[in-house]
Amino acid sequence: MDFFESQDVARRKTSLLVAYYVLAVALIIVGVYFAFAFTFLGVAAKSGGEVEVARLWNPMLALWVMGGTLVVVVIGSLFKIAQLSSGGEAVARMLGGRLVDPGTADARERKVLNVVEEMAIASGVPVPPVFLMDDASINAFAAGLTPSNAVIGVTRGCIEQLSRDELQGVMAHEFSHILNGDMRLNIRLIGVLHGILVIALIGYGVVRATASTRHRSRSSNSKGGGNLPIVVLGLVLMAVGYIGVFFGKLIKSAVSRQREFLADASAVQFTRNPQGIGGALKKIGGWTGGSRIGNSHAEEASHFFFANGLRNSLFSLMATHPPLEDRIHRIDASLLAGVETGTTEPSATAAPEVAGVSGMASFAVEPEQVVASVGAPDADHLAYARQLLAHLPAAVSEAVHTPVGASATVYLLLVDRKEDVRRRQLDWLRQHAGAAVLDVMDTLGDAVTGLGAAKRLPVADMCVVALRSLSPGDYAVFSGNVRKLVQADQQVDLFEYALQRMLERSLEPVFKKVTAKAIHHKTLESVQDASAALLSCLAYWGADDADEAERAFRAGASRLGLTLTLVPLDACGLDSVDAALDALVGATHAIRKQVLDACIHCVASDNRVTVEEAELIRAVADALECPMPPLFG
């Protein structure tokens, strides 16, 4: 299943969630109605009134109960969803995680940060922050609404007990959830299920309040027997509310278990090392702490975890995760030996050499393979990322992990080679960047400007985690400086556009409320104008003359099966690209796949792709919310 198909599957899972939700709420309404109806009959009987079973049906009461229950459930869901609207960090904090300092000197924390950086660069997504939970068990999770606000969570047992290969296998599994649209669905699950459980919480509150009242009544020598129907009402509301518990477990099981198998398979494809994730699962089976999470919110977030974070379920129908043995068997049946002891230590695998890290001027690509790689990085992409990180100057590797160093690095990436432009840029920074940033720029100058073209965007990606920790005021200064540096020469080149687009996509949701684009384009014809504008801009930017631009445009347009007209050159600016991308991100993933395929055929029509064109293609893919791994020869 490719990335685009997986997004459709995630949407279908959302439809299943809605169906279960409606059924659960309907049953809860029925249960709440009878709870109130029997309570009213009980009160009537106690006061000497006439009691008839036929009086159980009361249309007005039914209307009030239905309306009241719907209001309570919906408000409960919306409240929880609002709590988690900031993305993965809210889930990590809820589970007791603390942010791992990107500049940490702790060797085990450094190990997981390095693995996550490799995975992110290989996947084509911003490097996610890592949160550490102080559990001795072996577990992990990925959470967020989009790859731009995703986080990785790991337990202390995970980083202490797993080898690097095993940790890499676990992280590859979690990155599959980031890439395949599972995270947004998981957060919606928490919100929806909280709304269902609110009725039980109300019942619990009624019982506690009534019990307290009865205790005070007894202390005052009052009989207090009139509270009994209210206690019964509270108990019945608790029982009815726990219909939600049953459906919650059923929903999480229906949505989660098959996705775990898919994520395991993706992890093997990503690392080309089944012993990594298989060894991690074996260690969980043999580790005394297992994978259980000791946090009061573990139940509502149980579907996020790499392995079962709760006690083993008595009924497999309710389990959010398949049994460990089943997962290991699908990965590699030979790893089953010794599951109980967890003694097998996977051997390290050598990364293949991959061309492109040194930054060649241009290279050939196969457009179909590029499209197929979206959301599906493999071991070659991972090897590329590992080599790229290994060849970075030590000063750069250290600087990108602090807010000051990350800001300085981005500024240096944007400093122009032309003397007059560079002088204007530096004059501006001396007035607006701050002394600390300027000092780091002086130290890093040669190291950053000497980076090969292929390393520029990955280095900028590495800066994102540290930049997220800027204060809102500092971020406003940083983003203003970036805009000023880009505009210093009165024109925007492909790299500047790609970098600015990436930074906005990664950082804007952290500091501003960004509304997700609704899907309202479901046919290619509805995005015909946007597609023509985007392909025209790509064709002109990669061509030496008008004839070559026409050929490139036709190569892309032919992939869409539409009658498109090349837009005049004077109408092809970055504003046109932005407008086209804003329209296209509102299309279905199936349409985005076709448009991205057309863009790649357009750029590769001369059978060569420059590093700048590769950066632009990745910026287009990122804007379309299609995480594209690095392009290399």
- Give the residue numbers marked as catalytic: 174
Give the other-Cβ count within 10 Å of 215's Cβ. 10
Most distant CA pair in the chain, distance? 99
Rounded distance between C-alpha atoms, residue 541 and residue 557, angstroms: 16
Give me 209's structure tokens.
Answer: 């309040």
Rounded distance between C-alpha atoms, residue 196 and residue 77, angstroms: 8
Find how far residue 65's CA is from the centre of its chain.
38
Tokens 């297992």 found at: 290
Find how far residue 369's CA is from the centre of its chain.
24
Give me 608's structure tokens.
Answer: 């060569």
Give me 632's structure tokens.
Answer: 């290399």
DSSP letters spanning 288-323: TTTT---STTTTTTGGGBSS--SSPPSSGGG-SS--
Q: Exposed, middle or buried by CB within 10 Å (0-12, 13-18, 19+), for 279?
A: buried
Coil vs helix vs strand at 610:
strand
User: Phi, psi (5° rounding) for residue 521?
Assistant: -110, 115
* Amino acid found at 47: S
Tokens 């995680």 found at: 97
Rounded distance between C-alpha atoms, residue 211 and residue 224, angstroms: 10
Residue 362 parent element (H or E) = strand 362-363
Closest CA to 4 of 597, 617, 631: 597
Q: Exposed, middle or buried by CB within 10 Å (0-12, 13-18, 19+), for 254?
A: middle
Give me 297's structure tokens.
Answer: 């919110």
Give the other-Cβ count within 10 Å of 379's Cβ. 19
HEC states along 498-565?
Answer: HHHHHHHHHHHHHHCCCCCCCCCECCHHHHHHHHHHHHHHHHHHCCCCHHHHHHHHHHHHCCCCCCCC
Cα radius of gyration (the chain): 28
Return all residues near 292 (Cβ < 8 A) that are at least 6 apart: 135, 137, 139, 298, 308, 309, 310, 311
Q: Exposed, middle or buried by CB within 10 Å (0-12, 13-18, 19+), for 9?
A: middle
User: Phi, psi (5° rounding) for residue 150?
Assistant: -75, 155
Tokens 């971020």 found at: 475
* Angle subtended by helix axes 546-557 and 528-541, to nearest 10: 140
CA angle 522, 525, 528 (to 5 degrees): 115
Q: Are 298 and 309 in contact (CB under 8 A)?
A: yes
Closest CA to 408 of 457, 445, 455, 450: 445
